[in-house]
Amino acid sequence: MYKGFLHTHYLVVCLFLLLYVIKTVLLLSNKNNLLTAFSKKTRIFEIVISVLFLLTGIYLMTQIPYGGKYDYLLWIKLIMIFSSIPVAVIGFRKQRKMLAALSLLMITGSFGLGEIYHKKKGIAKDPETKTESHEVAATDGKSLYEANCVLCHGSDGKLGMAGAKDLGTTLLDQAGIKEIIVHGKGAMPAAPVNDEQAMAIAEYVNSQIKGH
Ligand code: HEC
């Protein structure tokens, strides 16, 4: 579900950017007639992708694990997206090149911010991407779990943020859990822990969370 929305959002954002790049290039190169014709032809398409853009974006916002030090990136991204809308509308309606270019810059910038946010926070699209280290020196399974897993799975394993699976009902054994901690899976990034720590977490999940 989460991944479906994330992929749809990406696709829609890319189409949206493409459309705006074309329109901005036409405007900047004084091809006003072509721009009008292009805008007319793509009107319905633009409405559809704008609505999908917002709906998938809003859904994803409700699924993100909040409370990290990088949340501000997300807020800046949101402010940039929403303030780029009036800038774009005025820019293209009144054919003000500076404003149109500025709105494209804002949209592209917020796309970049989203990427940085996801990298920093470790909501990886590529499961092998290591997250920033939540270093806990000890090999205490519980505190390692608290530091690396609670964000998505919750302390009881049932939170389900970012599409995370319920650990209370997992059918995996300790070795299988360790495997996922080390390599990640789907939207879950590999945990930034060493082998011994991964083992301690797997043991904790297997004995304290699974089956509860
Ligand atoms: C960024 C969010 C996130 C974090 C952090 C995270 N997970 Fe996950 N986890 C997921 C997602 C999403 C899935 C589902 C992956 C899939 O099946 O595609 C998942 C699946 C799992 C599974 C497989 C469950 C099953 O039955 O298939 C286990 C076990 C697991 N996580 C354990 C952990 C442990 C232990 C940690 C901490 C080291 C952790 N996760 C950290 C998001 C996360």
Q: What is the mean pLDDT of residues 75-93?
A: 91
pLDDT confidence of residue 123: 52
* CA-closest residue to ligand 1 atom 11: 164
* CA-closest residue to ligand 1 atom 28: 177
Write down the CATH number for the domain with range 141-209. 1.10.760.10
> To which residue do tokens 């205490």 refer?
140
**In this predicted model, which residue has the larger pLDDT, 127 or 86?**
86
Residue 161 alpha carbon to ligand 1 centre in Å: 10
Given the CA of residue 189, which atom of ligand 1 is nearest to it? Answer: 1
Given the CA of residue 121, which atom of ligand 1 is nearest to it? Answer: 1
In sign, the C-alpha dihedral spanning 53, 58, 62, 64 is: positive
pLDDT confidence of residue 135: 47
CA 24 to CA 141: how far, in whole Å?
54
Per-residue pLDDT at 38 exceeds 60: yes
pLDDT confidence of residue 122: 60
**In this predicted model, which residue has the larger pLDDT, 162 or 39?**
39
pLDDT confidence of residue 131: 46
pLDDT band for 1, please (50, 70, 90 cuts): confident
Q: Helix axis angle, 195-204 relative to 141-148, nearest 10°?
A: 100
What are 113-169's pLDDT values in tens digits?
888 887 777 654 444 444 444 444 567 899 899 889 998 999 999 998 888 999 999
The structural domains of the chain, with segments of one domain joined by +, span 2-121, 141-209
Percentage of the chain modeled with pLDDT above 90: 57
What are 183-204's pLDDT values in tens digits?
999 889 999 888 889 999 999 9
CA 111 to CA 172: how far, in whole Å?
36
Q: What is the mean pLDDT of residues 87-102?
A: 92
* CA-closest residue to ligand 1 atom 41: 149
CA 162 to CA 63: how far, in whole Å?
5
pLDDT confidence of residue 65: 74
- Using CB distances shorter than 6 Å, the residues near ligand 1 are 122-123, 148-149, 151-153, 162-165, 167, 170-172, 177, 180-181, 185-189, 191, 201, 205
The answer to whether 136 touches 189, Cβ cutoff 8 Å, is no
